[in-house]
Structure 1
């Protein structure tokens, strides 16, 4: 069995990308077709056939951030970087590592740097019916995946927040879930996505959580980023995943939940955990 989300989450051709290096570390992937855009900043980037390197003279977090910031601003003004968020992301290869630099969230996919996100499976269990799950439909105005189905709560982790703090914040903003209830969420697997997208490369680590929601609870969006919520049966979830009407990230988080709770049986092609480690960035 092969589902679209499993294929798309691994849709990445190393040959079409160049590793992005800074501070003696490979920190991202830049599309080979985008590399010429950076040639006008020779004082910022060293370019060759094998990689893009931030010039070594930018030897502190502040200097690296400032150098990237000037380039990102110019590329955004030209429409090369879209979906400006006014959110700061840290460039770091693992979630626990100290930042190498800071960038605007919208630029993370242009440079293919590792990002981190939380996804919540909002589960409703009752004695008289099979388990169900609340699903959100993303607003048509979203910069990424507009109008697609998503987990009831999902959001990127900005600099200065950990996964659980982000989850609690996003629970209220996206679904009106109070902090006291959100704090009861239980962790699932940590998944990895590396896929080529129109705006660049999504290299993302997803922290999955499950939350049992009361039968009488109805999600209510607070920030305008969700168009509607649906309480879905298992067969509906599987159909949406199979049709590709649910985002890749949400499909993976939902499958993780269904497999962990054994609401669907494991079978070849549905092994979630081992398959989502991204390719190792090349060593020096």
Structure 2
């Protein structure tokens, strides 16, 4: 395996399998063709035409549009067209979070192929032998990637919460970090990817952070989502990313980005330019 294969795995999808999801003349996502056909046949609020899957009855106002779409999702769950909802609102946008057109439940976002946002934090320690990364093992009862390796802190970014507030919350829940420690995390950019999933399409944005931790820091999970923590030399983490599928898929991208930024993957790497470019894949 190679590092570049990990990036390709996060960007595996066929545009021919999808049609635009259109609201008020604006393309806000991509839906699987079969899902679009079933939805247009099942629900009176949608039609499928040459523009794509069109939510023709969408209200103009944000709150009204969000409320009506929530009612639609409840009907789709009852009809068995989508799975159970998370009850966590995400913005529907073709740009940034601040340009939201309405809200969608997190679980339904891939069904309509709308952008989702998250935050991942690289918690690291400087030692005499070099950098070491804190790594979490996801609890075995997690809905997605049970038992896989993960970042020290990682989570989705719901609507109505600022990036700093959400990072503090995730830091406390997943690693026992207090707000003062969380506020020392440095924003270092973002990675983007788009991949097919079992429920649809995931065009995702992950905001990345680095947090240097003291040698005596020991994380502890407060919400039951982490089974164990490990502190490993970065060379060992690099080997796991390159040679296995042990990490949750999108964590590979954030770790590769960390290693490049810290000079641990350099221009001598044969795929260096492809790696750098692949971490910011264009979103549809």
Relative distance call for 1:52 and 1:180 in structure 2 (3 A) is same
User: Helix, strand or coil: the match of 2:40?
Assistant: helix
Match of 2:74 in 1: 73
Relative to the length of structure 1, the TM-score reads: 0.91
Match of 1:275 among 260, 275, 278: 278
Asked if structure 1 preserves the Cα contact closer than 8 Å seen for 2:257 and 2:279, the reply is: no
Deviations 1:25-44 (A, max 9, x none): 11111111212220234531
Answer with 110-119 or 264-273: which moved more. 264-273
Relative to the length of structure 2, the TM-score reads: 0.91
Asked if structure 1 preserves the Cα contact closer than 8 Å seen for 2:136 and 2:152, the reply is: yes
Q: How does 1:130-141 map to 2 (within 5 A)?
A: 130-141=130-141
Match of 1:103 in 2: 104
CA drift at 1:278: 4.6
CA drift at 1:78: 5.0
In the aligned structure 2, how far is the partner of 1:215 from the partner of 1:143? Answer: 32
CA drift at 1:75: 2.9
Match of 1:19 in 2: 20
Query: Is 1:153 aligned to residue 153 of structure 2?
Result: yes
User: Helix, strand or coil: the match of 2:99?
Assistant: coil
CA drift at 1:189: 2.3
Q: Which structure features the higher share of helix residues?
A: 2
Query: Is 1:38 aligned to residue 39 of structure 2?
Result: yes
- CA-based RMSD of the aligned residues comes to 2.0
- Listed as ranges, the gaps of 5+ residues in structure 1 are none
Match of 1:9 in 2: 10
In the aligned structure 2, how far is the partner of 1:61 from the partner of 1:209? Answer: 31
Q: How does 1:50-89 map to 2 (within 5 A)?
A: 50-77=51-78, 80-82=81-83, 84-89=85-90
Query: Is 1:193 aligned to residue 196 of structure 2?
Result: no
CA drift at 1:16: 0.7
Asked if structure 2 preserves the Cα contact closer than 8 Å seen for 1:10 and 1:276, the reply is: no
Count of paired positions: 280
Relative distance call for 1:175 and 1:79 in structure 2 (3 A) is farther
